[in-house]
Amino acid sequence: MGSAIAPGAALLSPRGKILEHGMSSFFRRLEKGVIDQQDLERRTAELLSFVTTACGTYSLKRDRLIVVGFSNGAVLAASLLLRYPETAAGAILIRGMAPFLPEPMPDLRRKPILFLCGLDDPIVQTDEAEDLANIFRSANADLTMHWEKAGNTLAQGDILMAFDWLRRFYLPQRTSTPQ
């Protein structure tokens, strides 16, 4: 997906270390829909370390870094921004839900966040998606929320929306008008 929404951009793609029902996951769940908060906190710190190391190794600028996550990756990305807001410039979260209710609420002013939700998502209900959106609104994030007629899958509309959103926020500003 990264190359489809940001052709030519440097991409980092960590993989979840937890095996859940034969698939990689970024954190443990205690049961369906219930996040193991201690494990999420530990995995969020690991992601912070990964991003910090990668930024140093590859000379990446955090003021241009966008975290992108799908499903449990979106939950981890949301946790990263809520715990460590200085880590990235913004986020694209696809089919995510609230990882926790932050206390105190971080200041995410000037952090653009694109939140792509599925109207037919059997995993993340509409009210759960709205809970995460409300957390970002309370944190003063520049939130764009988009609902797609899709389940817990990546839809073509998600890719098109993310591509357009990235261009709006991250295209270099022109300093002069072409002649």
Domain ranges of the chain: 61-169
Predicted local confidence at residue 78, as pLDDT:
98
DSSP string, 153-169: S--HHHHHHHHHHHHHH
Range 149-160 average pLDDT:
95
Range 77-95 average pLDDT:
97
* Share above pLDDT 70 across residues of the chain, in percent, rounded to a whole number: 94
20 strand-pairing partners:
23
CA atoms within a 13 Å half-sphere pointing along the CA-CB vector of 107: 1
Superfamily covering domain 61-169: Alpha/Beta hydrolase fold, catalytic domain (3.40.50.1820)
pLDDT single digits (tens) 49-73? 999 999 999 999 999 999 999 999 9
Range 126-137 average pLDDT:
97
pLDDT greater than 90 at residue 169: no
Range 74-97 average pLDDT:
97
Tokens of 93: 């979260």
